[in-house]
Amino acid sequence: MSNNLLKKKLKSALKLLSISVLLAVSAVNSSNSYAGTAIAIGGGALGYQVALSQSMSENLNLRITHNAASQSFDGETDGVDYDYDFEFSSTSLLIDWHVFGGGFRLTTGALINDNEIYAQSDINGLTLEVGDTVFTSAEVGRLEGDISFDSYAPYLGFGWGRAIADGFSVVFDLGVVFQGQPEVSLQTVGGTLSDNQLLLDEVEREEQELQEDADEFDLYPVVSLGLFYRF
């Protein structure tokens, strides 16, 4: 992990920690008439999740959620077939506001976002078009890349259901993660021309094609369902 990436992650963690401290202080000074804590399991577009929710007031809850999952699929970009691996890993700090006192709520907050996509070219064919040039598979080897996102990603959404209720409760969330413009890196590995400037120039062109496809992930829609239990 590079020093810059580590600094970004630490900065994001400190931001979330500061918010948590402020909210905790607010909870201490608020009425405890609606105090309660609930834990949950669930899943959605960010992966499987475990969550903890703490009531702050009658209509305000603090929710901390950890999401994780892996998913693989095949896709084609600029004539190259890739095997994609999605690695989901994020921790969110969210505030649920039950605007009208019922099940409907607005949710805002942020994620420490370690979601990443890995890509590897399919090398089954005899030739491979990289950028605008056709090479043999032996010359290219394989193309490997990764797509990363902002480590601090704001979240905005709405949902139904109260996490803090008697016994079990079901909550539904619909929202969007603002995870910024993805950063794409692509390289050639194991080919006879892996250090050849012509191939490297075409790999850079191929990287730009991947970048254009990845840009659509700057806003990531989220749908999730959780089962909470108050204790």
Q: What is the rounded CA–CA span in Å between residue 225 and residue 216?
A: 24
Cβ-based neighbours of 126, under 8 Å, separated by 6 or more: 136, 137
Q: Decide if domain 3-230 falls under CATH 3.30.70.1140.
A: no
Residue range 174-203, pLDDT digits in tens:
999 999 889 999 999 888 888 899 999 999
Phi, psi of 230 (to 5 degrees): -85, 135
Percent of the chain with pLDDT over 70: 84
Residue range 119-147, pLDDT digits in tens:
888 777 778 888 888 888 889 888 899 99
Residue 74 clears pLDDT 80, i.e. is over it = yes
Residue range 85-97, pLDDT digits in tens:
999 999 999 999 9
For residue 9, what pLDDT is reported?
Answer: 53
Residue 223 clears pLDDT 90, i.e. is over it = yes
The residues spanned by each domain of the chain are: 3-230
For residue 215, what pLDDT is reported?
Answer: 85
Q: What is the mean pLDDT of the chain?
A: 84
> How far is C-alpha 156 from the geometric centre of its chain's CA atoms?
14
Q: What is the rounded CA–CA span in Å between residue 80 and residue 37?
A: 50
Residue range 205-222, pLDDT digits in tens:
888 888 888 888 889 999
Cβ-based neighbours of 32, under 8 Å, separated by 6 or more: none
Q: What is the CA radius of gyration of the chain?
A: 22
For residue 49, what pLDDT is reported?
Answer: 96
For residue 130, what pLDDT is reported?
Answer: 85
For residue 38, what pLDDT is reported?
Answer: 94
For residue 141, what pLDDT is reported?
Answer: 87
Residue 111 clears pLDDT 80, i.e. is over it = yes
Residue 23 clears pLDDT 70, i.e. is over it = no
Q: Strand, coil or helix: what is 82?
A: strand
- Tell which residue, 170, 190, 164, 181, has the closest CA to residue 217: 181
* Local confidence band at 35 (pLDDT 50, 70, 90 cut-offs): low
Q: What is the arithmetic mean of pLDDT over 28-57? A: 82
* Local confidence band at 32 (pLDDT 50, 70, 90 cut-offs): very low
* Local confidence band at 108 (pLDDT 50, 70, 90 cut-offs): very high
